[in-house]
Chains A and B, each alone.
Chain A
Amino acid sequence: MTIDQQTLQQVVTDVCSGMLGLEVEPSEKDNAATGDALSAVVKISGGWDSLVQVLAPRKTAKAIASTMFAMNEDELTEAEIRDAVGEIVNMVGGNLKGIVEGDSSLSLPCVGEATGSAPFDENFKGLEISNSCQGDPLIVRVFDRSRCES
């Protein structure tokens, strides 16, 4: 099975709403989301060769971390905010990997400032969904390297 927009949306909803109780719903893409934002990426290697990115503006990232740690946003450290966003991409990537047939491995999440570097730049050509998470933007992207490298 390949991953389409609907499947990706379902996984993101299951992770964010089903488990964490965050208010998440599909939305129009907000270009401001790619500004001052955190990028969390996991690499899937083997049968399905892909990168999965969660792109969260700082406001969204803090709201996610606040829910996960059950703490006020102003009490959170930078490490805790990054940990929370990293765990979101870990869960999304792990679930997507389980849907696609074939034996693949999942990397640890890599979290940093969103720099807009390839393949996750303005020319991104993979699968992308835009959501409103607690009222703020949350973008999730899948870059299938076997399909997109050409």
Chain B
Amino acid sequence: MKVLVVDDSKAMRMIVIRTLKQAGISNLTTIEANNGVEALAMVADEKPHAILSDWNMPEMKGIDLLKNLRAGGNDVLFGFVTSECSPEVRKEAEDAGAKFFIVKPFTPGAFEAALSPLLA
């Protein structure tokens, strides 16, 4: 499974990838983007099975990345991993088509709970 991890923090990208491995996602391959613009450019060539994105990023926010993908007809499995946790933000994510929402700080269990039903 190829997962694109999008976050402007290199430290957080490393932690997310480590946590994905700990959560036991099988045949995991990860690729990384620094923001929504980079991610959008990578999606066509890399064809990830899932995208895990931060919310707040320079250049293009995660929600705008999701909206751009959906507007272009791409229905890749998309979820947020973010410190944003207000009901308003969650609703905006769901309305735009996000399948899961993981709040930082998180544990491997949170990744398992969010991803397992979607990967079964």
Contact = CB atoms under 8 A, between A and B. Distances in A.
B65 to A, nearest CB: 16
Interface stretch (A29-37, A89-97, A118-126): A89-97
Contacts, number: 68
Interface in A54-105: 65, 68-70, 80, 83-84, 86-87, 90-91, 93-95, 97-98, 103-104
Nearest to B10: A83
A80 B56 CA distance: 19
B11 A84 contact: yes
B11 A90 contact: no
B37 to A, nearest CB: 15
A56 B67 CA distance: 37
Contact of B11 (A14, A69, A93): A69
A15 B11 contact: no
Interface residues on A, range: 20 to 34
Contacts of A106: 56, 83-84
Interface string B70-113: 00000000000011111010000000000000011111000000
B32 interface: no
Given A83-B9, A94-B83, A95-B83, A19 B107 contact: yes
B47 interface: no
15 contacts: A15-B104, A18-B107, A19-B15, A19-B104, A68-B11, A69-B10, A70-B18, A86-B9, A87-B11, A94-B82, A94-B83, A95-B104, A95-B105, A98-B85, A104-B86
**Leading 9 A-B pairs by shortest Cβ distance:** A94-B83, A19-B105, A98-B85, A68-B11, A91-B83, A87-B9, A84-B11, A15-B105, A91-B104
